[in-house]
Structure 1
Amino acid sequence: MIEQWLIDGEFEKVDQWLEEKEQQGRFDELYEASEELIQYGFFERAASIFQAMRAHFPHEAQLFVDEASMRFELGEDDVALELLEHVSEADEEYVQALLTLADYYEANGMLELALGKMEKAYELLPHEPIVQYGYAELLRQAGKHREAIRLYEQLLQLKDSDFDEATLLGSMAMTLSEGAAYEEALPYFERLLDVEELPATQFAFAHALFQTEQYERAIAPLQRTIELDADYYAAYTLLGQTYAQLEKNKEAYEVFERGLTRDRFEKGLYLAAGKMAIKLGKREEAIKHFEEALALDPEHLEARLNLASLYEYEERYEAVVDLLATFENNTPLMNLYLAHAYEALEQYEEAGTLYASLEEDLKTNIDYLNRYASFLVEEGRRTEALPLAQKLLTLTEDPTWSDFVERMAYEDDFDRYE
């Protein structure tokens, strides 16, 4: 009746009509009109209808639930919660009130409270599909995957469920995947793909295959994901990783590069491309990729560490210092590269201080022990280098350091003899 007025923006006519129907006591028409108001987002007017009707039907629990739903939509949470307190367990609408509360608590991040309300609703109506599905969804969010799966399976077995098969198959497959039951999830993904084909479904299927080390099988759904949505960036990353697992490094690098042509702001792809470029011996390309990743995210530790390693390999020691000297969140390995850069640049005081500061963090790191011991020997501090060399010999058989320890022992014996 009022739909066209709402579309045309003739709200005065709407308000006049609503007022007339209330005066005439035509509450059935008012209630029907509230559905149209809600459909077009006029929650305030719908709430006013329910409020007016409550004055005439103070014991009609449905009106309290309906108005509470509108008050939640309007952000009037306290009013909505107070309205729902009027719905008792004796009312037929009690379960509906519980579902409304569960939705509210879930939307506000109070998962335990939401789960409690839904659990109560399930106790009262354990065979109601909407209750089963809502309870399963909350159980899934709470990480109770097996309990959620049991409910999804019950719904899948219903012939006349309100939920379509694709929704339930998707929920089953994703819940199993979230619980790391990837092998069990695969047949549900396959059934779902027979019902509907979406990029997200193809990707999730491929991810499950990847997790079960079925790399060859994962390639086709990942390629299909990209065919359906060329901007599905995660698919490029996973496809590249899949090729890498199959030692098809050239194909992996090409996929990462292709992904970057679609999105120059995806730092994960730059990182993946950089690592693969190293494997392929493309050091300059790798440097560029890591530099791009850092340009997007200066705090990205892995990109910074890889870049420092490449700069050192290329003996670009000034670049190592520029990259790490003023960065406040260096890892111990980053500081090892920085110490070596200081040493190479003949900034021996800075190098020695930094090497010494790393002893606790890297006391079993062979590379660190080698570098620091060598530095101390070059500085003429052989006595300080001795315990490092001895530590090295407990970790590796290096004739250089075994000879050094023997010489130091001989010199010590000679000095005592003297």
Structure 2
Amino acid sequence: MDRNKVGIQYMQEGKWEEAAKVFVEAIEENPNDPISYINFGNVLTVLGDHERALKFFEKAIELDHNAASAYYSAGNLYYQLEQYEQAKNMFETAMRKGIESGDNYFMLGLSLVALEQVKLALPYLQRSTELNQFDAEAFFHYGLCLAKLELIDEAIKQFERCLDIDPDHADAHYNLGVAFGFKEDGDKALEHFEKALEIQSDHMLAGYGKKMIVKGNSELH
């Protein structure tokens, strides 16, 4: 029986306690297999046992310095803990060790944005959209990054692509509203603020954006 496969099946079913039990058995059966430590660390992360999770990722790396997924999992955990410098370092190492996934590029980009290194983040977020062409969040965050760099026309394209994938992405509508407001296209800005509010009635920023546009229109008349 491949305990790691069984454990992953339990994880996919959301049976975290069962998954943990199987991964512990896998570690006892083969204490030199880094995969079992990574898998168990991922379960501990979900269960909120962050300190122990990190120890298991570190053990996996100790057993195999090229265990790229251990660096990636540790990066995700550091990002959750808002330790963005450590997260960035882990995602960069995962990339050097051979992870070419859109998710790793995406998380590296987000870590750099959190560290206010927006220009450095841009190519990683762009790459994440190339590798995950149906991931609405990838296009949304790439758009946000472009908007922060005041590349408004390009940002609009990415927000629109996000909405092609997920038409109910309230934040994409809100940011399109901001972008069109920046371009002084009040009608389109209002349309997107209203759409954001239709999807999420308590979207405070969209509510404020709509109020500003309506106020501006009334002052013109």
Any residues of structure 2 matched to 1:329-408 within 5 Å, and which?
A: 329-332=198-201
Q: Distance in 2 between matches of 1:283 and 1:317?
A: 15
Change over 3 Å in CA distance of 1:135–1:220 after alignment to 2? closer
Q: Which residue of 2 aligns with 1:195?
A: 63
The DSSP-based 3-state class of the residue aligned with 1:144 is helix
Deviation (angstroms), 1:138: 5.2
Q: Which residue of 2 aligns with 1:148?
A: 20
Q: Which residue of 2 aligns with 1:269?
A: 138
Q: Which residue of 2 aligns with 1:222?
A: 91
Q: Distance in 2 between matches of 1:268 and 1:326?
A: 18
Q: Distance in 2 between matches of 1:333 and 1:135?
A: 40
Change over 3 Å in CA distance of 1:333–1:177 after alignment to 2? closer
Residues 81-131 of structure 1 show CA distances to partners (whole Å, capped at 9, x for unaligned) of xxxxxxxxxxxxxxxxxx9xxxxxxxxxxxxxxxxxxxxxxxxxxxxxx7x
Residues 377-410 of structure 1 show CA distances to partners (whole Å, capped at 9, x for unaligned) of 988xxxxxxxxxxxxxxxxxxxxxxxxxxxxxxx
Any residues of structure 2 matched to 1:406-417 within 5 Å, and which?
A: none
Q: Which residue of 2 aligns with 1:177?
A: 45
Q: Which residue of 1 aligns with 2:82?
A: 213
Q: Which residue of 2 aligns with 1:246?
A: 115
Q: Distance in 1 between matches of 2:78 and 2:7?
A: 28
Q: Distance in 2 between matches of 1:249 and 1:285?
A: 15
Amino acid at match of 2:58: E
Q: Distance in 2 between matches of 1:135 and 1:275?
A: 37
Rg larger in structure: 1
Deviation (angstroms), 1:295: 2.9
Q: Is the 8 Å Cα contact of residues 190 and 210 (structure 2) preserved in structure 1?
A: no
Deviation (angstroms), 1:324: 7.6
Deviation (angstroms), 1:370: 6.7
The DSSP-based 3-state class of the residue aligned with 1:315 is coil
Identity %: 19
Q: Distance in 1 between matches of 2:7 and 2:137?
A: 36
Change over 3 Å in CA distance of 1:266–1:175 after alignment to 2? closer
TM-score (norm 1): 0.42
Tell me, which stretches of 5 or more residues in structure 1 are unaligned? 1-98, 100-129, 338-364, 380-418
Q: Is the 8 Å Cα contact of residues 61 and 70 (structure 2) preserved in structure 1?
A: yes
TM-score (norm 2): 0.73
Q: Which residue of 2 aligns with 1:25?
A: none
Q: Distance in 2 between matches of 1:285 and 1:252?
A: 15
Q: Which residue of 1 aligns with 2:150?
A: 281
Deviation (angstroms), 1:220: 2.9
Q: Distance in 1 between matches of 2:25 and 2:202?
A: 53
Q: Which residue of 2 aligns with 1:60?
A: none
Residues 204-242 of structure 1 show CA distances to partners (whole Å, capped at 9, x for unaligned) of 121112223332222233123334132x11111111111
Deviation (angstroms), 1:201: 2.8
Indicate the RMSD between aligned Cα atoms, in angstroms: 4.2
Q: Distance in 2 between matches of 1:188 and 1:137?
A: 20
**What is the number of equivalent residue pairs in this alignment?**
215
Q: Is the 8 Å Cα contact of residues 173 and 196 (structure 2) preserved in structure 1?
A: no
The DSSP-based 3-state class of the residue aligned with 1:270 is helix
Q: Which residue of 1 aligns with 2:185?
A: 316
Q: Which residue of 2 aligns with 1:414?
A: none
Q: Tell me which of the two structures has the higher relative contact order, counting C-alpha pairs closer than 8 angstroms and 6 or more residues apart.
A: 2
Residues 44-84 of structure 1 show CA distances to partners (whole Å, capped at 9, x for unaligned) of xxxxxxxxxxxxxxxxxxxxxxxxxxxxxxxxxxxxxxxxx
Change over 3 Å in CA distance of 1:216–1:367 after alignment to 2? closer
